[in-house]
Amino acid sequence: MAIVVALTLCDIMLLLLTSGRDPGIIPRNSHPPEPEGYEGITEIRCGITPPLRLPRTKDVVVNGITVKIKYCDTCMLYKLP
């Protein structure tokens, strides 16, 4: 019974310590990532810039499993899986 009480008090103490800490931030990317598979413009027109948008989702292989990650326009980086 004493072990259960000690572990419960330890768990509550660690929960309170964790809830009072700053979780931190991931800083914004100053340069957006380069789009993959973009070979350039096939037809060049004077004065017209082609719309270059990054894909909203990207497939990444993590430990042999394909995971979709999303792009954040505010942070200019792909979110972690």
Residue 55: the pLDDT is 72
pLDDT in tens, the chain (81 residues): 999 999 999 999 999 999 988 888 777 777 666 666 555 545 555 555 555 566 778 888 888 888 888 888 777 788 877
Q: Does the predicted model carry a pTM greater than 0.75?
A: no
Q: How would you label 36-54 residue by residue, b for 16+ Cβ within 10 Å and e otherwise?
A: eeeeeeeeeeeeeeeeeeb
Residue 45: the pLDDT is 56
Q: Taking the domains of the chain in order of start, what are their residue ranges? A: 54-81
Token digits for 20?
Answer: 């009072």
Kindly give the residue spans of alpha helices, DSSP state H, lying in 1-81. 2-19
